[in-house]
Structure 1
């Protein structure tokens, strides 16, 4: 796709303003394409992408044709729109953009001169519309749709008639938009649940589990707690993936009963891959999109389990305003912290001030040297934090 058009689209990522109005208007102009699709809605703080990847793998193993809408992308915009597990082509994306732009009274070539106010739609709302056009044109059997932020007022909640809803792990994140407490954030995400729609709840803290069940019961909603998947060889690293893929399996078995026997399900989930989630670049270099306190806790537990006693360099970069370190337990780990200042959107301008143990801040490009030549005093380097940071790292094409 023309880089100028992409830059113009990215330029529409202004101040976050939650609400369903623009998406509803766009979807109406498109003729409500979601009503011709079977689709699953996913919300949660952590684990949406991994759970989606598990569902995608199971649907594909059953012979279904799948579409998936995710955010953010790591390297290419196309990654946000997947058909049968692969990013769409530039040709498919450009055709969808031409169609959506026509409904907005413009052309893709004119986007560099457009504004969000003039278009009446944001970057994310346009992206969601592109997904709907692509999935309808491809006649997918199942579409998997991730929320962008929260749930109640997220653009994806304007979509009608989901066949299932999934709530992954809920934690403290995006408090400036969703609320300061875990309960407030949970209620925002639980608002994607719909009457007469089966819903699936990943394992939660006791407080959130009870809140979710009470929420569903008071509204007559069908919410099913999901078990942790024990004893299976999974394609994703980390104990928390037993929760994510267990949730995916419970949802799939409800939607497609008897489509796959247990052996086929195990094979599908053993093949799941999701970039940037406990992904090894080489045996001594690990990257992970742990971008909030809950994510860092899962990363630390994985390091305790899989790399006990190792001296680890943790290179960390995060978005402005993130409170990553509240209640964080790093016991049992031999960590040296290294802040990373990337060029990614909204990067913390002075991350080394957050922890006194941090050394001087380094630019992302220095990581290529770490990857090629492990500093001798470390057994393992871990690059973690914002998914935008991981995308910047992957763009280095090492």
Structure 2
């Protein structure tokens, strides 16, 4: 583990992180020059990392890494993980071999990066990624699972010169204001993490995206292990079946709920097939598939003030998906898991979303399944849609919607409406639309 100097009383990582947000006028400004400058001054920690699995894509990156981490840990490997954004505390982004980075170590590394960078412009993600690389470089590990922040080609994580493996989850429209308006353009940005001679594993892709990814792999000489050509999967009653040139493997139902998680789990198995030196035998892979855990991916909340506000028998769930593809995947899972037979009961939504997202596209798939929706502004997020605007998007999608002052108020209103005479079965309430909203809920609900 990394050694950190003593931290003076009263000093917090939140205070340092707040200062770092002021080093650049923009939250996002895609470039590699600033982070490369800082890493050079820090002695190039990115060159001293454990073997890296570098992951880009639109949806499923965090879930893919959760499955891979569970597999590798089942094989007794020392695993580091870098993900973003965090849900409750920044520390969640930097997982060392002994667990999440501790407060003293985080403060020391952030302040070191702050001092070395000085007043020069650098984005929050760039400077904190440099701090993460320092932490990982000083923590002996077998492997580092590294998630891009946004895009790939100009993402701050893309300073790793030769990863052990790259992987690209399904590519869809998202962050068009930064990555371009077309699926092909977004795929081109994601393909930027590919490196010559380094195998790239891809999940299921739209034909237009797949063509771009394969062309880039061929252009730079990156072996390309593609779904539908080199590996495949199919759902089975007990889980799913994975197949590649080495044969067929029967896997259990993933530990994360939903048909889209079978896609993520199968992609993790495809990645494991390319990591032969890590001892990922059938038992470790199966244990990882079944045991993976990743908060705010159709997570049931079972305690806290929001749960206490519900009538007897009601359920409260949380999901952080936030773009049209995520809305479609969520809707497919709800139809499969919640809308048939004895499992069927009325579904209400508490919804909030950033104003940079395609709100109507996310909600359209959910509209036929939803009884009513309460819309909220995401607390503490300047880029959040207002409750009124979010409710307007929901009504446009065909959902009976109204704004609410808070998540608690929204839950209370839905509960009151749902216990009126003749309302039938207890309801499910799903809080959705944003990882930032999910993080707020997890924090405030304990």
- Whether TM-score is above 0.5 comes out as yes
Superposed CA deviations along residues 88-110 of structure 1, whole A, max 9, x for unmatched, are: 111221232233233224xxxxx
Q: Does structure 1 residue 189 correspond to structure 2 residue 168?
A: no
Counterparts of 1:302 and 1:13, CA distance in 2: 40
Q: 1:384 aligns with which of 432, 435, 440?
A: 432
Q: Which moved more, 1:386-395 or 1:13-22?
A: 13-22
The unaligned stretches of length 5 or more in structure 1 are 106-117
Q: CA deviation at 1:174?
A: 0.6
Counterpart residue number, 1:170: 171
1:121 aligns with 2:122: yes
1:353 maps onto 2:353 in alignment: no
The two structures have a TM-score, normalised by structure 2, of: 0.81
Equivalent in the alignment of 2:30: 18
Question: Paired residue for 2:139?
Answer: 138
TM-score, scaled relative to structure 1: 0.90
Q: 1:269 to 1:366 in 2, by over 3 A?
A: same
Q: Corresponding residue for 1:296?
A: 327
Q: Distance in 2 between matches of 1:286 and 1:12?
A: 37
What's 1:94 paired with? 107
RMSD: 2.4
Partner of 2:336: 305
The range that moved more, 135-144 or 286-295, is 135-144
Match of 1:234 among 247, 251, 254: 254
1:331/1:96 CA distance change after superposition, 3 Å: closer
Please state if 1:220 is matched with 2:225.
no
C-alpha deviations, 1:293-330, integer Å up to 9, x for none?
Answer: 00011111111011114211011111013113238334
Q: How far off its partner does 1:387 sit?
A: 0.7
Note the C-alpha offset of 1:214: 3.0
C-alpha contact 2:78 2:142 (8 A) present in aligned 1: yes
Larger deviation: 78-87 or 2-11? 2-11
Q: Distance between the aligned counterparts of 1:324 and 1:295, measured in 2?
A: 11
C-alpha distance after superposition, 1:101-155 (max 9, x if no partner): 33224xxxxxxxxxxxx23321101111111111111122211111111111111
Shift of 1:75: 0.6
- Determine if contact 2:97/2:139 at 8 Å carries over to the other structure: no
Between the two proteins, the alignment pairs up a number of residues equal to 386
Return closer, same or farther for 1:386/1:13 CA change in 2, 3 Å cut-off: farther
C-alpha distance after superposition, 1:230-287 (max 9, x if no partner): 4222111111111112112221221235713212211122110001111111371111
How far apart, CA to CA, are the structure 2 residues paired with 1:72 and 1:272? Answer: 19
Whether the 8 Å CA contact 2:349–2:370 is kept in 1: the answer is: no
Q: Aligned partners of 1:218 and 1:296: how far apart in 2?
A: 34
Confirm or deny that 1:339 pairs with 2:343.
no
Q: What SS does the corresponding residue of 1:203 show, helix, strand or coil?
A: coil
8 Å CA contact retained: 1:367, 1:393? no
- Contact 2:31–2:155 at 8 Å: present in 1 too? yes
Provide the C-alpha distance between the structure 1 equivalents of 2:79 and 2:224, rounded to a whole number of angstroms: 24
Query: Which of residues 238, 252, 256 is equivalent to 2:272?
Result: 252
1:40-51 residue pairs with structure 2 within 5 A? 40-51=53-64
Once residues 348 and 36 of structure 1 are traced to their aligned partners in structure 2, the CA distance between those partners, rounded to angstroms, is 42
Q: Secondary structure at the match of 1:200?
A: strand
Alignment correspondent of 1:28: 40
Q: Structure 1's 258 and 386: CA in aligned 2 closer, same or farther, altered over 3 A?
A: closer
Distance 2:220 2:134 in 1: 33
| Distance apart, 1:229 and its partner CA | 6.3
- Unmatched runs of 5 consecutive residues or more in structure 2: 1-10, 241-251, 303-313
1:258–1:193 CA distance, 2 compared to 1 (3 A): closer
Partner Cα separation in structure 2 for residue 188 and residue 74 of structure 1:
26
Among 286, 296, 316, the residue aligned to 2:351: 316
For residue 444 of structure 2, give the secondary structure of its aligned residue in structure 1. Answer: coil
Q: In the aligned structure 1, how far is the partner of 2:372 from the partner of 2:411?
A: 18
Secondary structure of residue in 2 paired with 1:289: coil
**1:137-184 deviation line (CA, Å, top 9, x unaligned):** 112221111111111111111222211111011111111111111111
Distance in 2 (CA, whole Å) between partners of 1:314 and 1:199 is 38
Larger Cα-atom Rg: 2
8 Å CA contact retained: 1:229, 1:245: no
